[in-house]
Amino acid sequence: MQVTKPGLTTLSDALDIAFAEVPVMTTAEERPISACYGAILRQDVVAQVFVPSVDNSAMDGYALRHADLAAIEGPVSVTGVSLAGHPFAGTLPWGAAVRIATGAAIPDGADCVIIQENVAANADETVIEIDADVIARTRLHQNIRWQGEDIKAGAPVLQAGSILRPQDIAIAAGQGFGSLSVARPLKVAVFSTGDELAIPGHPLPPGGIYDSNRFAMIGMLRSIGCEVTDLGLLADDFDVLQGALADAVQSHDVIMTSGGVSVGKADLLKPVVESLGEITAWKLAIKPGKPLLRGKIEDCLVIGLPGNPVSVLVSGLLYVLPLLRHAMGASHSQLSPTRIPVRAGFEFKRGTGRREWLRARLMQNDDGEFEAVAFPSTSSGMLSSMVWAEGLIELPENCGQVSKGDQVLYLPLQGLQ
């Protein structure tokens, strides 16, 4: 395990440890496919049918026997029609053609399709004429899609642990599945602590600030399908926090909080968790978000995030969401964020020892090339920077400075949610 400073664990090590210590916490449930978007698949999906189900036409046109083409010297009779869902009955006669629509079954005996734009048909499409150059260019099996060309029956099409995207749902539906086995959503209780916090919509007391962290946490949790119970604001009081956690563990898989995880006099979450259960991890070598707590009370996972809003969002996206998806059975290959190498359009100096993320976006420079531009402040209290940002620049633990033109890693925010 790599530790960059005494008592601080790298993010990658912290996640590996958490993945090893936190089990899959939810059971599987059968759910209609229309309710599976974003859910985590818990059972492999194996193809039930061939796609395409039959050899079919890739274009609107005329199905012919390729061996007949060399002998064509005049009009060709059209002996029938093949439409999607309404195939031509019988075998294609020698020297004839069948009018065919895109997706329609290839008639028995036909082995190529000439598109309609390359033939001349009479008014009722019973006769066509084909130019010699078209005949010369027509290949055996032209414009034919073969049975099973896309998917073969019996082949795996989706793997357990996949986070289901619209295209995944579509392929399951295309295989005739009306429901899928997916993870039951985690039940997560959320609250914020801090006597300085006020509820949005209520008067703001002198020196107070409105609670925004709770809404960031709720949004992140709902983005991965969790069922969230909002416990609101809790006072910086040991007994109040202890009672709230003791109640929440009875009906929730996870408790997630913000604030009260550092070492100040009013930072009570750590001793409260220790009074009811145990602390399993504390403090990461990351910036923002160092004072991050993971604990356990009975079978309930407890996650305590820092109080600064940018720290909540960054540590939530990079640590909490992967961990909770793991707890719902997601494949670990799906939990690593997308990192895109880009050129830096900024200068930055810093100390070493912690992995750091700068709020950033991609912008075109004077040469028309995209480069990463960092927000001018690194303060973890500036929530507006996360609204401005479209991604994060990741600086490794041993990075001392960034110069314009250096290659850096860009993590799109959209890929983290």
Distances (CA, A) of 234 to 231, 243, 260: 8, 11, 11
Predicted confidence at residue 263, as pLDDT, reads 60
Q: Packing angle between helix 269-276 and helix 238-248, nearest 10 degrees?
A: 50
- pLDDT tens readout for residues 128-149: 999 999 999 999 999 999 999 9
- pLDDT tens readout for residues 341-368: 999 999 999 876 799 999 999 999 988 9
Predicted confidence at residue 335, as pLDDT, reads 93
Instruction: Tell me how far apart the alpha carbons of residues 231 and 214 are, in angstroms, rounded to a whole number.
Output: 9
pLDDT band (50, 70, 90) for residue 1:
very low
Phi, psi of 237 (to 5 degrees): -140, 125
Three-state secondary structure call for residue 324: helix
Closest among 351, 338, 358 to 397, alpha carbons compared? 351
DSSP codes of every residue in 113-128: EEEGGGSEE-TTSSEE
Could you say which DSSP state residue 314 is in?
H
Given a cut of 80, is residue 4 above it in pLDDT?
Answer: no
Residues in the chain: 417
> What's the burial of 336, exposed, middle or buried (CB within 10 Å: 0-12/13-18/19+)?
exposed
Percent of the chain with pLDDT over 90: 87
Closest among 309, 262, 263, 261 to 288, alpha carbons compared? 309
**Can you read off the two tokens belonging to residue 272?**
């409260």
User: Is the entire prediction scored with pTM above 0.85?
Assistant: yes
| Other CB atoms within 10 A of residue 247 CB | 12
Predicted confidence at residue 416, as pLDDT, reads 81
Helix or strand holding residue 80 (H, E): strand 76-82
Is the model more confident about 388 or about 267?
A: 388
Name which of 154-168, 314-328, 346-360, 385-399 the model is least confident about: 346-360
Instruction: Please report how many Cα atoms fall inside a 13 Å half-sphere around the Cα of residue 270, on the Cβ side.
Output: 17
Given a cut of 80, is residue 262 above it in pLDDT?
Answer: no
